[in-house]
Chain A
Amino acid sequence: MMRYLRFLIPLAAFFVLSGFLFKGLWLDPKLVPSPLIDKPAPEFHLTQVSDPGRIVSREDMLGKVWMLNVWASWCVSCREEHPVLVDFAKSGIVPIYGLDYKDTRDAALKSLDQMGNPYQVTLFDPDGRVGIDYGVTGVPETYVIDKTGTIRFKQIGPITPDILHEKILPLVRKLNA
């Protein structure tokens, strides 16, 4: 009997393997959870793109749920994402703040003129210091930050209507409740 069982080993191993492959079909290999999730959002003191005289800091944002969208005028995927944000901003469900990453004021303002401005305020981060503190690996990236200044969600890559409706909206409702 044992002699026969031996020949079943490859088949059994394959079944285990295909079980994992099946599970793998619904996983996303690129989805790496940010170590910043559920941690306090890093400090920042940045000027606004439209007004070099006004500084916004992390403390100014406490007490409300808000979205931070990292973008740049030179970023192609941001153009893809931009109309989604402009559309979403009109609903007024959650304020969106921009972080203009490694950019120039002129180029950023020109882009916002052309494509519409979804942001309450756009923070200006020309050398990318704050972006690095937030663990930005590529633009665009988006964070949802709660009333206590804690990061609750991070999206790497463009926001799509699906992500907005399935992930961000329910989260924002929960945080505002």
Chain B
Amino acid sequence: MIAEIGSFSLMIALAVALVLGTLPIVGAHRGNVAWMNLARPAARALFLFVLIAAACLVISFLRDDFSVQYVASNSTRELPVRYKVAAFWGGHEGSMLLWLLILSFWMLAVSFFSRHLPQAMVARILGVMGLIGVGFLLFILLTSSPFTRLIPAPAEGRDLNPLLQDPGMVAHPPMLYMGYVGFSVAFAFAIGALLGGNLDATWARWSRPWTTVAWSFLTLGICLGSAWAYWTLGWGGWWFWDPVENASFMPWLAGTALMHSLAVTEKRGGFKVWTVLLAIFAFSLSLLGTFLVRSGVLTSVHAFANDPRRGVFILLFLSIVIGGSLALFAWRAPKVGLGERFELASRETMLLTNNVLFLSAAGAVLLGTLYPLFLDALGLDKISVGPPYFDAVFVPLMTPALFLMGIGPLARWKQTSLPEIGVRLKWAFGVSVATALLAPLAFGHWSGLTAFGLWLALWIFAATAVNLWSRVRPFAGPGLLVRLGSLPRGYLGMLTAHVGVAVFITGVTVVKSYESEKDVQMDIGDTVAIAPYTFEFRGVTGGARENYVYQRGLFQVSKNGHLVLSMTPEKRRFISQSEPSTIAAIDLMRGLYISLGEPVGNTAWVVRVYSKPLVALIWGGCLVMAFGGALALSDRRYRLARAADREATTMSGVPA
């Protein structure tokens, strides 16, 4: 019964979404206020019905209702409750429902935080999001319903994929989708503005916080995914340039470009066409990512042999949404005027360069991800594109972007004096170069690439410090913190995010330069050394937990003869699964990593021991970036602007 309520609720949601996707948009076009006013209540109703459906799925999992096929495929009675909830997004059908739930959540958020917007704009934005919702609802109802019954019901379910039974995996998909789908808001703003013909600074100011919040979530989501891979795949890798990872990274790159482009549109009224295009790109790449991951075009075997309808459906949907919005762009964009003029040496130019670089990077990742498919489709060859390609294109594209990151925030709008910036940054440059040349020596081995990577990070740190100091110094006031607190949050958020990038670069450079790995067979009492640590293997003990049996190795790690910590990597074998899964033992602060390979004989094991100094900075940097986004979001400018808009609206009487 519960599953049928879920299904029925989705059907009602489809009806609501159809109303939302048509009447308010037509109303905005004809100036019909009653139709426009449908947008908010319809968006809220849509959220309610999708939420009911989602709740029905959760209840089915909690009640072990294996007569629901999706539950039978992704759960067992023994599965711990937290994973029964997370099993919601453990498979295809549930993932799509999660996508829809988050989309309608963003619509709910827009319906509440849009009081300052003209009614026609709200109607168009929610209408466009409603249309996206129609597509996903049709997809779920026609090809991927999580509520399909399995009669007769099996006595026991097939269990959640053990790789997904991990705390990181519980949070990763919702975070990632909050980011992916969050770009739908900026997208809807862009389409709404194209439809209404009001692409201007106000439009950019409205879009900015939504873009920033989506970007922050996406940053966190990618970060969690990377950490999850580090913990559970047992190879000590944190990024693989795998198609699934790339699928989440491309919208991030486009979203980063969009955030910077929006800044120009808001402050200077420039780059409007660019900004609109980037908003379309960011969300299109999110949709494309969903398609690539869910369709199995690039990843899994025979994903379509069972149900080609799914792939055709998503592709059709993709063509309508992306093709339609790009056609609208081609129709409307030529009429959009240019913004204010700017000189070659100006903040605009630097942000434009940033845009071009980030978009090229996204294009390069797209090309690398799809290249095997292109060749295969043309019948030319079967190849796979790996990290060497991505490293080779990515580093040269990002290097100038990182260098500009130091200069850009100091440059003035419209026209800036390069010699003046040179004078202001000469110390930052000198200090960063000197430190970068010497720092590798502290790790015991000097290489040009290491020094260069560290220099980029140090340059951003130093230039950011100079920038901050130049803003803080003129204030006469009590403590430094008070003076910092009086700076605009948007500005602080930007600097924080830039520092996050520098932290990330430091982590990547040090890990890449100084990681070492020992792949050894160890028996009880054997030791292996990675300076300055010695690892002693003390054997493996077995045991059982909720729904798996485990074998846990004990390693005692000592430094200069003193025991510093014990590490306990595990092999877990889940009930109903044949392949064991690996849980590495990780000490983040020291950058140590041990994973158990295969047993050899009675007591010996193949063991992988890695030392990855400063690896924590890779995720730490991402967290700092996301925090920067949150900081920018709390800028009082947005609240003030809202109040001003509201006033303007009331003064002019009827909402436009």
Task: Say if the beta carbon of B400 comes within 8 Å of chain A.
Answer: no
Task: Say if the beta carbon of A33 comes within 8 Å of chain B.
Answer: yes
The contact string, 1 if C-beta is below 8 Å from chain B, for chain A 3-15, is 1100110110011
Chain B residues positioned under 8 Å from A15 (CB to CB): 323
> Would B326 and A11 count as touching, CB distance under 8 A?
yes
Task: Say if the beta carbon of A28 comes within 8 Å of chain B.
Answer: yes
Task: Say if the beta carbon of B373 comes within 8 Å of chain A.
Answer: yes
The contact string, 1 if C-beta is below 8 Å from chain B, for chain A 23-37, is 111111111110000
> Would A30 and B334 count as touching, CB distance under 8 A?
no
> Would B330 and A25 count as touching, CB distance under 8 A?
no
Q: Which residue of chain B is the closest to A16 with respect to CB atoms?
A: B374
Chain A residues positioned under 8 Å from B326 (CB to CB): 10-11, 14
Total interface residues on A, CB under 8 Å, equals 26
Within 8 A of A (CB), among B285-301: 291, 295, 297-301
Within 8 A of A (CB), among B310-327: 311-312, 315, 318-319, 322-323, 326-327
Distance (whole angstroms) from the CB of A32 to the closest CB of chain B: 5
Task: Say if the beta carbon of B376 comes within 8 Å of chain A.
Answer: yes
Across the interface, B330 reaches (CB within 8 A) one of A11, A18, A24, namely: A11
Chain A residues positioned under 8 Å from B315 (CB to CB): 18, 21-22, 25
* Complexed CA–CA distance, A3 and B330 (Å): 11
Chain B residues positioned under 8 Å from A24 (CB to CB): 297-298, 373, 376-377
> Would B311 and A25 count as touching, CB distance under 8 A?
yes
> Would B329 and A7 count as touching, CB distance under 8 A?
yes
Distance (whole angstroms) from the CB of A56 to the closest CB of chain B: 31
> Would B377 and A23 count as touching, CB distance under 8 A?
yes
Task: Say if the beta carbon of A76 comes within 8 Å of chain B.
Answer: yes
Task: Say if the beta carbon of B578 comes within 8 Å of chain A.
Answer: yes
Across the interface, A28 reaches (CB within 8 A) one of B291, B301, B329, B333, namely: B301
Chain A residues positioned under 8 Å from B373 (CB to CB): 20-21, 24, 27, 29
Distance (whole angstroms) from the CB of B574 to the closest CB of chain A: 14
With A18-B323, A32-B382, A33-B382 given, is the CB distance from A27 to B377 under 8 Å? yes
A-B contact count (CB 8 A): 78
* Complexed CA–CA distance, A17 and B323 (Å): 11
* Complexed CA–CA distance, A118 and B370 (Å): 42
Most buried by A among B308, B323, B377: B377
Distance (whole angstroms) from the CB of A127 to the closest CB of chain B: 16
* Complexed CA–CA distance, A123 and B88 (Å): 47
* Complexed CA–CA distance, A27 and B297 (Å): 7
> Would A20 and B295 count as touching, CB distance under 8 A?
no
* Complexed CA–CA distance, A20 and B297 (Å): 10
> Would A4 and B376 count as touching, CB distance under 8 A?
no
Within 8 A of A (CB), among B546-598: 578
Distance (whole angstroms) from the CB of A160 to the closest CB of chain B: 10
Q: Which residue of chain B is the closest to A29 with respect to CB atoms?
A: B298
> Would B334 and A4 count as touching, CB distance under 8 A?
yes
Distance (whole angstroms) from the CB of B166 to the closest CB of chain A: 23
Chain A residues positioned under 8 Å from B329 (CB to CB): 7, 10-11
* Complexed CA–CA distance, A55 and B344 (Å): 81
Chain B residues positioned under 8 Å from A30 (CB to CB): 300-301
Within 8 A of A (CB), among B327-352: 327, 329-330, 333-334
Task: Say if the beta carbon of B277 comes within 8 Å of chain A.
Answer: yes
Chain A residues positioned under 8 Å from B300 (CB to CB): 30
* Complexed CA–CA distance, A51 and B281 (Å): 66
* Complexed CA–CA distance, A176 and B214 (Å): 62
Most buried by B among A8, A24, A32: A24
* Complexed CA–CA distance, A72 and B468 (Å): 66
Q: Which residue of chain A is the closest to B577 with respect to CB atoms?
A: A76
Distance (whole angstroms) from the CB of B155 to the closest CB of chain A: 21
> Would A76 and B578 count as touching, CB distance under 8 A?
yes
Distance (whole angstroms) from the CB of B182 to the closest CB of chain A: 22
Chain B residues positioned under 8 Å from A76 (CB to CB): 578
Task: Say if the beta carbon of B427 comes within 8 Å of chain A.
Answer: no
Across the interface, B322 reaches (CB within 8 A) one of A14, A25, A28, A32, namely: A14
Across the interface, A26 reaches (CB within 8 A) one of B304, B322, B334, B370, namely: B304
Task: Say if the beta carbon of B471 comes within 8 Å of chain A.
Answer: no
Within 8 A of A (CB), among B364-415: 370, 372-374, 376-377, 382
Distance (whole angstroms) from the CB of A18 to the closest CB of chain B: 5
Across the interface, B297 reaches (CB within 8 A) one of A3, A25, A157, namely: A25
> Would A7 and B334 count as touching, CB distance under 8 A?
yes
Chain A residues positioned under 8 Å from B426 (CB to CB): none
* Complexed CA–CA distance, A30 and B323 (Å): 29
Q: Which residue of chain A is the closest to B296 with respect to CB atoms?
A: A29
Task: Say if the beta carbon of B637 comes within 8 Å of chain A.
Answer: no
Distance (whole angstroms) from the CB of B539 to the closest CB of chain A: 25
Task: Say if the beta carbon of B267 comes within 8 Å of chain A.
Answer: no
Task: Say if the beta carbon of B30 comes within 8 Å of chain A.
Answer: no
Chain B residues positioned under 8 Å from A32 (CB to CB): 382
Distance (whole angstroms) from the CB of B92 to the closest CB of chain A: 15
> Would B327 and A21 count as touching, CB distance under 8 A?
no
With A24-B297, A24-B377, A30-B301 given, is the CB distance from A3 to B382 under 8 Å? no
Task: Say if the beta carbon of B639 comes within 8 Å of chain A.
Answer: no
Those 6 A-B pairs whose CB atoms lie nearest each other, nearest first: A23-B377, A11-B326, A25-B311, A7-B330, A24-B297, A30-B301
What are 22 inter-chain pairs, A to B, with CB distance below 8 A?
A4-B330, A7-B333, A10-B280, A11-B329, A14-B284, A14-B323, A18-B319, A20-B370, A21-B315, A25-B295, A25-B304, A25-B311, A25-B315, A27-B377, A29-B297, A29-B298, A29-B299, A29-B372, A30-B300, A30-B301, A32-B382, A157-B301
Task: Name B residues whose Cβ lies closer than 8 Å to a Cβ of A.
Answer: 273, 277, 280-281, 284, 291, 295, 297-302, 304, 308, 311-312, 315, 318-319, 322-323, 326-327, 329-330, 333-334, 370, 372-374, 376-377, 382, 578
In addition to A3-B334, A10-B329, A23-B377, 16 A-B residue pairs with Cβ atoms within 8 Å of each other are A4-B334, A7-B329, A7-B330, A7-B334, A10-B280, A11-B330, A14-B322, A17-B370, A20-B374, A21-B318, A25-B295, A25-B297, A25-B315, A27-B297, A28-B302, A29-B376
Task: Name A residues whose Cβ lies closer than 8 Å to a Cβ of B.
Answer: 3-4, 7-8, 10-11, 14-15, 17-18, 20-33, 76, 157
